[in-house]
Structure 1
């Protein structure tokens, strides 16, 4: 069964207060890197997997995309996207990523931001994305870094004075289900190794162009706790093309 915490009223309310929800892309600590990795959108057909509030969809349109399809499992997310980031060039659909009809060669670019760690199989997604892209089409995505997801709790170890000691990494090679506490709720995520991400792409017919483990934007280091994000990677970003 596909989990959808984002339609939980309390959870969605907490998520809506996050910087990336309120301020859009400029409130996302990794956007300064992901933006640089994006391809030319001019005249392109774009698919956004796990579009959330639609910030990346409207960005693609602003950069010249012809048609953008944004899908998300959450009705609340899609409703918010239609309110905040509506455009005649964007079609929002409420559905799970796994349930989308990946028709052959219907998109020039596929993007996804922080969604695939909610899916059990990365290989399935790679094959479906490859199928729906044209030859030479671009696939750019971000996920939570395997170092971040390995242990599962996604919380620091603290000393008796509540000082952050270290980030736990354990069971790295044991892939699969993890229960993380996010915004006060237990959320199911799926840990995958770096090997799984890279080989999943290569074995599905992609050519990897760039791999980035982004550091926070220097302008955000004054935010309380943000400097600790330099102590371990939180995101993994990959840009590739269909051969």
Structure 2
């Protein structure tokens, strides 16, 4: 199932008002850790899966990437990305992540920020990324943490006075579709465990280099003190993997 909520006008308007939609990468909790895990991009060919407004594509070019391809299923996202891009080395394509079919060894780096929780067949995406990466190439992605996605409610347990008591975790081992509420709308996401993320990468021939659970940095908390709640439970999972010379089975 390929849901495209971002081309719904009302939903897109609300999304465009989020801090990270306005402030860009510096207003994204996972960005400092994500940036740290990226390899040297100078002279590299880069693919961004779920490019959104194109923030990560622009960043890659500031680090002298040779070429960047950004894909997204949402025409609204791509329109915004193209409006903010004046760089012939960045190309945008309307394409679902699951439908990528780039030539073998086409890219040095593939990355994706907070998009893969919307993808049902993570294993399929991993195989396709492995194919289009050059040997020794890097796959870096963040997704909503499985502790965050386990329950469809994706919300705290509250006390009698509305205080946030704790983050409940249930049905963790029951992977699959979740109808979550995001921006007051029903959004389809897919829950999978940390083990599934890691073991799928390994089964496809990747070598895991980093597993991280990004939280706000002290600098970010000074700008956004309300983000302190993110220190109470992981919101994001960040993985970096290298394409080895091992053949897939």
Place the TM-score, normalised by the shorter chain, in its bin.
over 0.9
Please state whether the residue corresponding to 2:230 is helix, strand or coil: helix
For 1:158 and 1:224, locate their aligned partners in 2 and report how far apart those are by CA, in whole Å: 20
Mapped contact 2:100–2:128 kept (Cα < 8 A): no
**1:227 is the counterpart of 2:221:** no
Q: Which moved more, 1:135-144 or 1:77-86?
A: 77-86
Mapped contact 2:106–2:134 kept (Cα < 8 A): yes
Mapped contact 1:156–1:168 kept (Cα < 8 A): yes
For 1:25 and 1:183, locate their aligned partners in 2 and report how far apart those are by CA, in whole Å: 20
1:195 alignment partner in structure 2: 195
CA displacement at 1:224 relative to structure 2: 5.2
Please state whether the residue corresponding to 2:93 is helix, strand or coil: strand
1:22 alignment partner in structure 2: 22
Please state whether the residue corresponding to 1:165 is helix, strand or coil: strand
For 1:80 and 1:240, locate their aligned partners in 2 and report how far apart those are by CA, in whole Å: 30
**1:132 is the counterpart of 2:132:** yes
Q: What is the RMSD computed on CA atoms of the aligned residues? A: 1.0
Q: TM-score, normalised by structure 1?
A: 0.97
Q: Deviations over 1:9-58 (max 9, x none)?
A: 11111111111111111111111111111111111110000000000001
Gaps of 5+ in 1: none
1:120 alignment partner in structure 2: 120
Structure 1 moving runs of 4+ over 2 Å: 219-225
Please state whether the residue corresponding to 1:189 is helix, strand or coil: strand
| Equivalent residues in 2 for 1:30-49, closer than 5 Å | 30-49=30-49
Gaps of 5+ in 2: 245-249
For 2:189 and 2:166, locate their aligned partners in 1 and report how far apart those are by CA, in whole Å: 21
For 2:157 and 2:210, locate their aligned partners in 1 and report how far apart those are by CA, in whole Å: 32
CA displacement at 1:84 relative to structure 2: 1.7
Q: TM-score, normalised by structure 2?
A: 0.95
1:96 alignment partner in structure 2: 96
